Amino acid sequence: MNRRRWLKRCTAGWLWSGLIAVLLGGATAIAPGAKELLPDEISVSQAKARRDAGALMLDVREAGEWEQVHIPGAVHIPLGRLEERAGELRRNREIVVVCRSGGRSAMGRDILKKAGFTKVTSMAGGMNDWKAAGYPTVQGR
């Protein structure tokens, strides 16, 4: 077998083994230079871990809800204004979108993805589950 044919066969073998690993869930490494894709939605405990690691918590609830209780250090942009204010957010920072129970945060995540953000996810269960887990909260502005 000539060298060219051998290289072609080896390359095909590696591609198939990589594809199989991905389909079976065994491949977790990301190629150098590739952007990490976050899952569309993460749990409250995963969101807290990402916050502790430096992710921005973006609260998309209305002002009254925000003033009642929110995550310390979170940024508040109501969902209805997110599209026009998305430029205020850094695209290279990981963002976890938060609301009361998880519905509006998914919409906020989708608005940001449509605007070209790639490091964005939403928190399932919202502030209801965050408070129930006993994670830190603050009141007021």
**pLDDT tens per residue, range 25-42:** 433 333 334 355 778 999
Q: Give the dihedral sign, CA 108/39/69/49.
A: negative
Residue of 99, 112, 123, 127 marked catalytic? 99
What pLDDT does 5 receive?
54
Quote the pLDDT of residue 3: 53
Q: Known catalytic residue: 10?
A: no
84 with 110: CB under 8 angstroms? Answer: no
CB 125 within 8 A of CB 43: yes
CA distance 85 to 141: 19
Q: In the β-sheet with 75-76, what is the strand arrangement from edge to edge?
A: 41-42, 120-123, 95-98, 56-59, 75-76
Mean pLDDT of 66-80: 97
Q: Residue for token digits 């009254």?
A: 64
pTM beyond cutoff 0.85: no
Mean pLDDT of the chain: 82
Higher pLDDT, 34 or 9: 9
Per-residue confidence (pLDDT) for residue 9, from 0 to 100: 53
The whole-number average pLDDT for the span 50-66 is 97
